[in-house]
Amino acid sequence: MKKKNKKVNAAILIIGNEILSGRTQDKNISFISNWLNLKCGILVNEVRIIPDLEKVIVKSILELSKNFNYVFTTGGIGPTHDDITAQSISRAFKIKYEYHKEAFQILENYYGKSNFNDGRKKMAKMPRGSKLIYNPSSAAPGFIIKNVLSFPGVPSILNSMIENCTRYLIKGSKIHSKTINLFTVESNISKKLGLIQKKYKKFVDIGSYPFFRLGKIGVSIVTRSTSKVKLQDVKRELVKLVKLKKIQILKI
């Protein structure tokens, strides 16, 4: 693992017509975001879902890789004609798209020479200079080139691979989170909550999320920060607000 850095961010790029059409429900955004936040201290600051179009992939890769420490892509590194992520990333960075020797060997060993057809060979092609993200589920590796990490779209396979990319990442400061669930409506606390957020905006992110539970309307107040001290300060402010408004706290 590389040296820890305080603020590290990432973007997630979901590539696939099947997601945009509604045919397939994405499960990777939540998993990757949680893993990066909890395990690596890396904040996900943007998510995009785009079609399997080379020009769109190229444009998104160039924009996101410039603006974020890391870009995580999912989908489009399989054996079929519409799996064009690897070649599109090669084009974006003006790097030759070619067979990766180790990836080729891994796949040939996995399938056997007689079953190692052109479609399967395609999964060994990636930008020149890529480092592999090993795949314990179905052999076909993902890869990292520059600050872009490419994974398959199948959630179970991606989940099994994610830990294998940690050695390529700079960790950020651990992000801590606290949640208070209140039986009230957002409008009852919005003004005061806004003032608290303004006071601590450099240190703590405060989110307000309505819910309906046990026949009552409520609000979950979620606070997130790299500083436990600042989280405690915000918690005290929220407790004062709860007492002032005589709001019931939901115990979970």
Q: Is 141 exposed, middle or buried (0-12, 13-18, 19+ CB in 10 A)?
A: buried
Identify the H or E element spanning 232. helix 228-245
Ramachandran class of 74: left when φ > 0, alpha when ψ lies in -120 to 50, beta otherwise: beta
What is the residue-averaged pLDDT of the chain?
94
Q: Read off the pLDDT band of 213 (50, 70, 90).
A: confident
Strand partners, 216: 213
Structural domain of 236: 176-249
Instruction: Give the domain CATH number at 150.
Output: 3.40.980.10
Indicate whether 163 and 202 sit together in one domain.
no
Q: How many CB atoms lie within 10 A of CB 206?
A: 19
Give the domain-ending residue among 134, 168, 202: 168
- The answer to whether the beta carbons of residues 33 and 12 sit under 8 Å apart is yes
Give the SS3 label for residue 99: strand
Indicate whether 35 and 156 sit together in one domain.
yes
Indicate whether 126 and 228 sit together in one domain.
no
pLDDT 10s digits, 29-70: 999 999 999 899 999 999 999 999 999 999 999 999 999 999
Total domains in the fold of the chain: 2
Q: Read off the pLDDT band of 252 (50, 70, 90).
A: low
Indicate whether 159 and 207 sit together in one domain.
no
pLDDT 10s digits, 128-183: 999 999 999 999 999 999 999 999 999 999 999 999 999 999 999 888 999 999 99
Indicate whether 2 belongs to any domain: no
Whole-angstrom distance, CA of residue 6 vs CA of residue 198: 22
Q: pTM of the entire structure?
A: 0.87
Give the SS3 label for residue 11: strand
Give the domain-ending residue among 116, 133, 168: 168
pLDDT 10s digits, 173-210: 888 999 999 999 999 999 999 999 999 999 999 999 99
Give the domain-ending residue among 149, 168, 187: 168
Indicate whether 163 and 180 sit together in one domain.
no
- Selection from 70, 97, 90, 77 nearest residue 12 by Cα: 70
Whole-angstrom distance, CA of residue 16 vs CA of residue 26: 10
Whole-angstrom distance, CA of residue 237 vs CA of residue 245: 12
